[in-house]
């Protein structure tokens, strides 16, 4: 297979001009290296979930991490934009938006006036596909090295990095610039990649896809793993706010069917079978690529996405979410048993975390007597535009688009009105704060100047701000309020600086890691520098995290 390495290196250098020079000066890797670092992200796994269900888990999955490894019980992201792209980037690089470049899953491009998806790159189409707008993928928008990049550079290219996920962003961002990423195509039911990584698929990937592993689930159904009476949320199988995606229905059993090929392939993501399929591909990758069998430490990143799909569709306090977590535990146990058989768990470092947590469905909160609501961006954009028109006595709308957590002004409209951007920003901040369900707002100008107030939300928004990708006013909704460009697409949402969204597990096990439960405050941004320090190499270029000493303690023995 002909690699496109020269092109990849040119792209890398464009973003990370000092990376190779720094790597030359990096210390050598430690003598007693693990064969493999396995970094697992469970999308939307809130920090309390492994502990709440621990007694119901089987052996060898979550329990292996919680009982044999170092488990941090108080890990919260430092930023406020708790979305998939941002969380994966922060975990992989140890930085926040300013360092890694990800202002959200999407943002508005000031130069082109168009929406930018976090990993889109029209220069690199999917292998075998014709060029199509917004369909190409690469880590182009990631502006820091990842811990995997640092491993490759520190070993002179001898180490290899692979990253796999159902989601494209869940594979691409943890894979960094020098890894190879594969993700699931919901249209074809296959695992795919782009020409950024290679010009053609390895023979084993082609064969695996042709075998139709996804199709094996046709005519099957997702039913409860155990007797219904054993579930905490046994009576929550048909709530009015639950979404029936791809004909799966709102109640068990959720039949996958086989009539509509695209609906089946897409619907698989909303069932535990999606994570099972991901693991099947990962096992084949490890076998075919002989990962962990080389002279230096290899890196495997796996992001299990199904928890996120199910949490959005049914809510985190649903029967579906509960059953999925029990099934995910079995998938992890299967994975760890495979790693043990292949390399021995004492030769593997396993790290597990999540990109963000999740809030309850707002309608459930309302039923419980809590304050909650569902923002409708089109409505509040219209409201603030009317407020600005009255304030400045103009006829033209000044706010053009919203992407969490930013409102973007139309610079041309502001200019035509004879106004200054800073003046309109300040006015827009005042107008958005009038909207019910909005807690805090800050202007781009104040963030650029570092005018930080004592409000904790300000500091979190500062860490979510990117000077060329964020909007003119960033804001935070009240607790319990759903905020997303499509207000009715999902049952539940994340994306806030509140604990239910920032709180995630941070777990390490394997190799020389000694068991300990740690209650002190740490951050998921510490994961990347912990891995690089463990291997005796420098942290990623954008890392702001601190190596977790409890994970390193066994290296001194």
Structure-token match 């119901």, residue found: 56
> Is the domain of 327 the same as that of 396?
no
3-class state of residue 303 by DSSP: strand
The DSSP code sequence of 173-210 is: HHHTTTSEEEEE-TTTSSEE-BTTT-SS--HHHHHHHH
507: which strand partners?
71, 352
Split into its structural domains, the chain has a count of 2
Domain CATH code at residue 170: 3.40.720.10
Confidence of residue 4 (pLDDT cuts 50, 70, 90): very low
Give the residue numbers spanning the domain of 334: 5-358+498-556
Contact 122, 195 (CB under 8 A): no
Nearest Cα to Cα of residue 437 among 495, 478, 381: 478
How long is the chain? 557
235 & 344 share domain: yes
Q: What is the DSSP string of 363-387?
A: HHHHHTT---EE--HHHHHHHHHHH
Instruction: Please tell me whether residues 430 and 338 are part of one structural domain.
Output: no
> Per the domain annotation, does 368 fall within a domain?
no
Domain match, 335 and 416 both: no
Largest CA distance in the chain: 72
Say yes or no: 513 and 417 in one domain: no
pLDDT confidence of residue 30: 61
Could you say which of 477, 508, 538 is where a domain stops?
477
Question: What digits encode the pLDDT tens for the residues 489-529?
Answer: 999 999 999 999 999 999 999 999 999 999 999 999 999 99
Residue 262: pLDDT over 50: yes
343 assigned to some structural domain: yes
Catalytic position from the list 84, 297, 502, 532: 84
Banded model confidence at residue 29, pLDDT cuts 50, 70, 90: low
Tell me whether residue 302 is in a domain. yes
pTM of this structure: 0.94
CA nearest to 44, candidates 77, 6, 11: 77
Residue 22 has pLDDT above 60, yes or no: no
Say whether pLDDT at 11 is over 70. no
Pair 329, 215 in one domain:
yes
Same domain, 254 and 393: no
Residue 147 lies in a domain: yes
Digit-coded pLDDT (tens) for 85-138: 999 999 999 999 999 999 999 999 999 999 999 999 999 999 998 888 788 999
**Backbone phi and psi for residue 78, each to the nearest 5 degrees, phi listed first:** -85, -20
Q: Do the domain assignments include residue 112?
A: yes
Q: Where does residue 223 rank: exposed (0-12), middle (13-18), buried (19+ CB within 10 A)? A: exposed
Q: Are residues 417 and 516 in the same domain?
A: no
84 is catalytic: yes
Task: Let me know if residue 126 belongs to a domain.
Answer: yes
The burial class, CB within 10 Å (0-12 / 13-18 / 19+), for 17 is exposed
Per cent of the chain over pLDDT 70 is 94
What is the tens place of the pLDDT at every residue in 410-455?
Answer: 999 999 999 999 999 999 999 999 999 999 999 999 999 988 788 8
pLDDT at 398: 99
Q: How far is CA 142 from CA 124, 161, 426, 530, in A?
A: 15, 16, 30, 20
Give the model confidence (pLDDT) of 184-198 as tens digits: 999 999 999 999 999
Distances (CA, A) of 184 to 282, 307, 329, 423: 12, 15, 21, 46
**DSSP letters spanning 311-350:** HHHH-TTSHHHHHHHHHHHHHHHHHHHHHHHHT-GGGEEE
Q: Are residues 428 and 512 in the same domain?
A: no
Q: Is the pLDDT of residue 14 over 60?
A: no
Intra-chain end-to-end CA distance of the chain, in Å = 43
Per-residue exposure over 421-435, b if at least 16 CB sit within 10 Å of its own CB, e if not: beebbebbbebbeeb
Does any domain span residue 490?
A: no
Tell me the DSSP string of 516-542: EEE-S-B-TTHHHHHHHHHHTSPPPTT
Q: Assess whether 349 and 424 both reside in one domain.
A: no
By C-alpha distance, which of 22, 34, 18 is closest to 531? 34
**Helix (H) or strand (E) segment spanning residue 135:** none
pLDDT per position as a tens digit, 301-313: 999 999 999 999 9
Question: What is the overall mean pLDDT for the chain?
Answer: 94
What residues form DSSP beta bridges with 255? Answer: 221
Residues 520 and 395 in one domain: no
301 and 206 in one domain?
A: yes
Q: Within a domain: residue 79? A: yes
């Amino acid at each position: 297979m002909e690699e496109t390495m020269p092109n990849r290196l040119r792209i890398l250098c464009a973003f990370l001009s000092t990376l190779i020079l720094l790597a030359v000066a990096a210390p050598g890797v430690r003598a007693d290296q693990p064969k493999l670092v396995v970094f697992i992200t469970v999308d939307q796994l809130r920090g309390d979930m492994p502990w709440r269900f621990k007694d119901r888990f089987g052996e060898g999955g979550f329990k292996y991490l919680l009982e044999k490894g170092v488990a941090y019980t108080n890990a919260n992201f430092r930023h406020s934009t708790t979305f998939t792209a941002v969380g994966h980037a922060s975990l992989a690089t140890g930085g926040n938006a300013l360092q890694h470049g990800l202002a959200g899953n999407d943002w508005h491009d000031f130069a082109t006036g168009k929406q930018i998806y976090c990993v889109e790159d029209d220069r690199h189409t999917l292998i075998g596909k014709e060029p199509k707008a917004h369909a190409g993928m690469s880590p182009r928008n990631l502006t820091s090295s990842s811990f995997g990049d640092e491993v490759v550079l520190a070993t002179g290219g001898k180490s290899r990095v692979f990253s796999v996920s159902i989601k494209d962003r869940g594979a691409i961002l943890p894979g960094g610039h020098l890894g190879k990423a594969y993700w699931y195509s919901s249209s074809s039911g296959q695992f795919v990649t782009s020409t950024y990584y290679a010009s053609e698929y390895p023979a084993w990937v082609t064969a695996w896809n042709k075998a139709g592993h996804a199709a094996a689930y046709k005519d099957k159904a997702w039913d409860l793993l155990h007797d219904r009476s054993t579930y905490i949320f046994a009576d929550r199988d048909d709530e009015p706010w639950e979404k029936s995606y791809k004909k799966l229905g709102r109640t068990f059993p959720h039949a996958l069917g086989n009539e509509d090929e695209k609906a089946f392939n897409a619907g698989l993501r909303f069932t535990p079978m999606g994570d099972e399929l991901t693991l099947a591909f990962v096992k084949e990758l490890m076998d075919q690529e002989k990962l962990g069998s080389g002279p230096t430490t290899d890196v495997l990143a796996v992001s299990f996405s199904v928890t996120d799909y199910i949490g959005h569709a049914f809510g985190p306090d649903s029967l579906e979410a509960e059953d999925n977590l029990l099934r995910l535990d079995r998938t992890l146990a299967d994975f760890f048993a495979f790693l043990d058989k292949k390399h021995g768990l004492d030769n593997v470092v396993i790290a597990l975390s999540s990109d963000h947590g999740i809030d309850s469905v707002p309608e459930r909160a309302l039923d419980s007597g809590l304050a909650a609501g569902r923002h409708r961006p089109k409505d509040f954009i219209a409201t603030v535009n009317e407020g600005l028109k009255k304030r400045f006595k103009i006829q033209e709308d000044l706010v053009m688009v919203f992407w969490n957590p930013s409102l973007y002004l139309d610079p041309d409209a502001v200019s035509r009105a004879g106004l200054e951007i800073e003046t309109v920003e300040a006015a827009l901040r005042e107008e958005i704060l009038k909207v019910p369900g909005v807690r805090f707002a800050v202007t781009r100008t104040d963030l650029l100047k570092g005018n930080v107030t004592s409000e904790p939300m300000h500091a979190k928004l500062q860490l979510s701000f990117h000077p060329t990708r964020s909007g003119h006013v960033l804001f935070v909704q009240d607790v319990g309020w759903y905020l997303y460009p499509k207000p009715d697409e999902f049952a539940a949402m994340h994306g806030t600086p509140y604990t239910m969204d920032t709180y995630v597990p941070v777990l390490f096990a394997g190799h020389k890691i000694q068991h300990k439960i740690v209650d002190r405050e740490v951050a998921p941004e510490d994961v990347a520098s912990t891995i690089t320090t463990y291997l005796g190499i420098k942290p990623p270029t954008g890392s702001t995290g601190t190596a977790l000493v409890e994970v390193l303690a066994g290296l001194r023995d």
